[in-house]
Amino acid sequence: MSEQLEPRLSDFLRAARGRMTPERAGIVDGGRRRVDGLRREELAMLAGVSVDYYTRLEQGRSKSASPEVLEAIADALRLDESERAHLHRVARPAPARRRRAAKPQRLHAATQSLLDTFETVRRPAFVLGRGLNVLGHNHLAARLIADFDNMPPEERNQARFVFLDPHARELYADWEQVAADTAAMLRMDAGRHPEDPLLGRLVGALSIQSPEFRRLWARNHVHERSTGTKRYHHPLVGDLTVTYQALIPGDDPEQTLMVYGTKPGSPSAHALELLAGSPPRQQVSAAAPWCSDRCRSNRD
């Protein structure tokens, strides 16, 4: 199944308005509300546009909005930079003649060398491409997260792992947050490449096989790969917390180098030292519903 990825301004506006509370917007309201978030008239007032005009935008009856109006709406909704970029993108899609299927991505040899260098200082690192495909990794990342080498290239995907592999729920201590961020990052990529057939098939497969993904995808959240922390509950070394930093390697802005680190001398740093001497994790199992027969035969 291939999912229709063409993002709609109306869907994004409704979802963002539903998340915006009157309290955050500075609106005093002591009465009962029949809707989540702001009312249309409240948002229109905050953005300085007419209620009729905003309603037409949200209902898909108006196909155009100036950059100034979009910025006013973004301010009213308190959108962050990633959400603002997505808003402008879905409001002013590229003409059909300029849209092309995205080119396949390849990992540069210099980037793999950098991944291997991070291995020597006990830093798990991997590269995410379009659609959250794992384009490359070092051995410590495989020991921490999943044995990517035992997966065929088309199965090496962060979203597939998070939503379809039962090991992921055990591995991530904050699985719900990881899942929400993963769906939002995939939504961001879909906004950039609405006609990418591979991305469409990925979203379709996840929608069929994962009720959690369907729920999170419908929220219309977008999220950029950035920095933060992750907590793991690893079957070999127990609990550990890592910080991560997102970097852009080389000349492809749609490749993201994710580098994990720990506080020197901490229990988490000790856990990574132990992992560095362990064999890769056999994450991919017959229980993983998304793993193809070819994936399983690679392991046998």
* Residue-by-residue DSSP string for 142-185: HHHT--GGGS-GGG-BHHHHHHH-HHHHHHBTTHHHHHHHHHHH
Q: Which residue has the higher pLDDT, 11 or 178?
A: 178
- 290 band by pLDDT with thresholds 50, 70 and 90: very low
pTM metric for this prediction: 0.78
CATH topology classification for 109-277: Beta-Lactamase (3.30.450)
- Per the CB < 8 A criterion, the answer to whether 190 and 236 are in contact is no
pLDDT tens-digit map of 186-216 = 999 888 888 788 888 999 999 999 999 999 9
- Answer whether 89's CB lies under 8 Å from 7's CB: yes
Q: Which residue has the higher pLDDT, 5 or 269?
A: 269
- Considering Cα of 36, then 81, then 91, then 177, what sign does the dihedral take? negative
Residue 285, pLDDT score: 37
What does the alpha-carbon distance between residue 237 and residue 251 come to, in Å, rounded to a whole number?
A: 37
CA 12, distance to chain mean position in Å, is: 16
Q: What is the pLDDT of residue 80?
A: 86
Closest CA relative to residue 157, chosen from 93, 221, 202, 197: 202
Region of residue 14 (left: phi > 0; alpha: psi -120 to 50; beta: else):
alpha
Among 37-46, 133-142, 273-282, the range of highest mean pLDDT: 133-142
Contacts 24+ apart (CB under 8 A), 122-125: 122/262, 122/269, 122/272, 122/273, 122/276, 123/259, 123/260, 123/261, 124/242, 124/259, 124/260, 124/272, 125/257, 125/258, 125/259, 125/260
Mean pLDDT of the chain: 84
Residues with Cβ within 8 Å of residue 134, at least 6 apart in sequence: 126, 127, 128, 148, 156, 157, 158
CB 141 within 8 A of CB 125: yes
User: Who's near 258: CB < 8 A, 6+ residues apart?
Assistant: 125, 126, 127, 128, 225, 244, 245, 246, 247
Domain ranges, ordered by start, for the chain: 9-91, 109-277
pLDDT digit string, tens, across residues 106-127: 899 999 999 999 999 999 999 9
The pLDDT of residue 99 is above 60 = no
Q: What are the beta bridge partners of residue 232? A: 172, 240
Q: Which CATH number applies to 9-91: 1.10.260.40, 2.60.320.10, 3.20.20.70, 3.40.50.300?
A: 1.10.260.40
